[in-house]
Amino acid sequence: MLYTIVMMVCMSAMPHTCEQREEMADGLAMNPGVAFMQAQPLVAHWLETHPGYFVQRWRVLPGRSS
């Protein structure tokens, strides 16, 4: 199922400088709770590829596109 991972990301050096980022995720489970667990590694991967940021909060929204 197609989902959008919506993250509020902030700069580590300036923690009050935040913005919303959206990443598409396909192939996650239809059950929202399971999809949330499956999306955790995708959020971790985003953090690994974007040094200098941290994720303040995130959620998974089904069927949404940016």
Above 90 in pLDDT, residue 13? yes
Domain assignments of the chain as residue spans, ordered by start: 3-59
What is the pLDDT averaged over residues 13-29? 94
pLDDT at position 62 over 90: no
Report the pLDDT averaged over residues 5-17.
96
- First vs last Cα of the chain: how many Å apart? 16
**What average pLDDT does the segment 15-40 reach?**
93
DSSP 1-39: --EEEEEEEEESSSTT-EEEEEEEE-S--SSHHHHHHHH
